Chains A and B, each alone.
Chain A
Amino acid sequence: MNARADIAVIDYGMGNLRSVSKALEHVAPDAVVAVTADAAIIRDAARVVFPGVGAMAECMRELQQRGLVEAVRDAAARKPFLGICLGMQMLFEHSEEGDTAGLGILPGRVRRFADEAMYDNRNERLKVPHMGWNEVHQAMPHPLWHGIADEARFYFVHSYYVEASDPAMVSGYSLYPFPFTCAIAADNIFAVQFHPEKSQEAGLALLANFTIWNGKMVAPSDAIAQPGRSGLITS
């Protein structure tokens, strides 16, 4: 295994990391992508992906047992960092799922969709987990949205969602049936509730944007002049 990685995918024993790494390799064939639990590789990687599926308490426990909390904090403090699903939720202070403390890197909490039946405006029952392809409304311009149409659909599967204390952090939201935050942007951190690695063209475009992101929030106006991106534009 390569001791250095361009992109480290943090492996703490939860979830399907193969699809995340395969998708990254697909969009950045020249990058060294390492699925790793090695804190040194994570520390030295140029950018870090923090995925996660499953139960929040179990994820936090595994992260602690493998001694990776500091590696996550360090990466989230200073380099292009992409949280996915539970990897987004764990960045916040607290989750209703199992009354679990998160990493507290970002202010806010994680809440469950209502237990009582929810209905949409056509009076159709909305099931939990929120599972399938929903429209993502981009709440701000951001380099990771580059080339992705506003309201493009991404694949979701979750029962809990993030409620950020600072609304200025919300970079995307979806409706189920109320607007909930599905993307967060805070300096070098971008985090999404949906699964870009399972969201076909739109998801691959977001991952491709991440692999060349400099970690700055401002969408540079010259981004459109960057080469090699025209193939990523999705409807």
Chain B
Amino acid sequence: MGLARRIIPCLDVSAGRVVKGVHFAGLRDAGDPVEIARRYDREGADELAFLDITASIEQRDLILPIIEAVAAEVFIPLTVGGGVREVNDVRRLLNAGADKVSINTTAVTNPRIVADAAARFGSQCIVVAIDAKTNGNGSWEVFIHGGRTATGLDAIDWAVKMQALGAGEILLTSIDRDGTKSGFNIPLTSAVAEAVGIPVIASGGVGDLQHLSDGILLGGADAVLAASIFHFGEYTIHDAKAHMRRNGIEVRQ
């Protein structure tokens, strides 16, 4: 027995509250972030992801006291992303208690931030988040600005490039699947997981427990991320782990 596959509940945070949208829009309130983090920790989450989707830059600092509060009582790894524009943003999030910081839009507009942040803080804490949308021609394109802006970049090439620049992990979200509860985009996930040597977190589209195990067994992901199936009480983390174990996937108790 060795390394366990991880289950990562994701908390989308806007102006201090956990919210959840469909296709990157249409937000619904899901509760207090610290309380939700505490519950997931108790249920056996392997890690927590916080994505700050606050629209205004001013309100974005509201994530810092939340991370501080969570880090003071939840002793599992915390990944925080959203609105990271410069190396100093990475530092502020790490100082607040984040263990890993995910970079999305800025990785495209200024790829050097990935190299600079990895050199300064280590690859282990730099996650590059890739939001990808299916093209007509059987490939996947990277989108930024919360899924609104096409970049012309191929998602697989981009993941390989980010690894070369020093990313320690890829958080891969299928825009087509996000919020649809129809399962991960398996071809996208497996294409990226095979292309890079760093861990890949599959994200976007989880509607039931089978989707989680599919992400690992069919998609080759190292970790699976989900939000709404956990937030709204459909399943607990414990249910998810029990399902994974029944399907022969090594998980932490």
> Are B75 and A199 in contact, CB atoms less than 8 angstroms apart?
yes
What's the A-B contact tally at a CB cutoff of 8 Å? 119
Looking at the assembled complex, report how far the CB atom of A135 sits from the nearest CB atom of chain B, in whole angstroms.
Answer: 6
Q: Which residues of A contact B86 (CB under 8 A)?
A: none
Chain A positions 159-203 with a Cβ under 8 Å from a chain B Cβ: 159, 174-177, 195, 197-200, 203
Inter-chain CA distance A153–B44, complex, in Å, is: 12
How many chain-B residues does the 8 Å CB contact rule pick out?
A: 42
Minimum CB distance partner of A153 in chain B: B252
Q: Which of A18, A26, A174, A198 is the one whose CB lies under 8 Å from B76?
A: A198
Q: Given A16-B97, A199-B75, A55–B122 Cβ distance below 8 Å? A: yes
Could you give, for residues 47-75 of chain B, a 1 whenever the CB lies within 8 Å of some chain A CB and a 0 otherwise? 00000000000000000000010011101
- A126 located at the interface, meaning its Cβ lies under 8 Å from any Cβ of chain B in the complex: yes
Q: Mark B98-130, 1 if CB is under 8 A from A, else 0.
A: 111000000000000000000111111100000
Decide if A131 touches B253 in the complex (CB within 8 Å).
no
**Is the CB–CB distance between A120 and B97 below 8 Å?**
no
A110 CA / B6 CA spacing, docked (Å)? 27
* B-chain residues with CB within 8 Å of residue A117 when the two chains form the complex: 197
The total of chain A residues at the interface (CB under 8 A) is 44
Tell yes or no: B168 within 8 A of A by CB: yes
Docked Cα-Cα span, A16 to B92, in Å, equals 10
**B97, closest chain A residue (CB):** A18
A153 to B: closest C-beta gap in Å: 5
Quick one: closest B residue to A204, CB to CB?
B75
Q: Which residues of B contact A (CB under 8 A)?
A: 1-6, 41, 46, 68, 71-73, 75-77, 94-100, 119-125, 168-169, 194, 196-200, 220, 222-223, 252-253
Ordered by A's residue number, 6 sampled pairs between the chains whose C-beta atoms are within 8 Å are A18-B68, A18-B71, A58-B120, A127-B198, A159-B123, A204-B75
Given contacts A19-B75, A124-B220, A203-B75, 10 further A-B contacts (CB under 8 A): A15-B94, A16-B98, A22-B73, A23-B75, A54-B120, A132-B5, A132-B46, A153-B252, A155-B77, A198-B99
